[in-house]
Amino acid sequence: MKKPETVREMALDLIEKIENNQSFSHLLINDALKKSDLNPMDRALLTELVYGTTQRRITLDFYLAPFLKKNTRKLGA
């Protein structure tokens, strides 16, 4: 797997790890921030993207469901 190049790619990578591995978001975020040289604004963006997505997952699934060909429950929701 290639290394994420942008903050958004890093956030997506962390969200996938949280969903697939049932990992704790705060541990993954802390680890990612320690290993990166992100500026304070990018660190805040990464944190908000990951926490915001995980907190609003049910709402996001609800609004995305009409646009998906597969049921979100089958996707691991």
| 1 domain-assigned | no
Residue 55 burial (C-beta neighbours within 10 Å; 0-12, 13-18, 19+): exposed
7-56 pLDDT per residue, tens: 999 999 999 999 999 889 999 999 999 999 999 999 999 999 999 999 99
Query: For position 1, what pLDDT does the model report?
Result: 58
61-73 mean pLDDT: 80
Confidence (pLDDT) at 5 = 86
Tell me the C-alpha to C-alpha distance, in Å, between residue 77 and each of 7, 12, 19, 42, 58.
24, 16, 9, 28, 8
Q: In which domain, by residue range, is 65 found?
A: 7-75
The answer to whether position 38 is within a domain reads: yes
pLDDT confidence tier of residue 3, bands split at 50, 70 and 90: confident
Q: What is the pLDDT of residue 33?
A: 96
Terminal alpha carbon distance of the chain: 24
Instruction: Tell me whether residue 2 is exposed, middle or buried, using C-beta atoms within 10 angstroms of its C-beta: 0 to 12, 13 to 18, 19 or more.
Output: exposed
Q: Say if 30 falls within a structural domain.
A: yes
2 in a structural domain: no
Total number of domains in the chain: 1
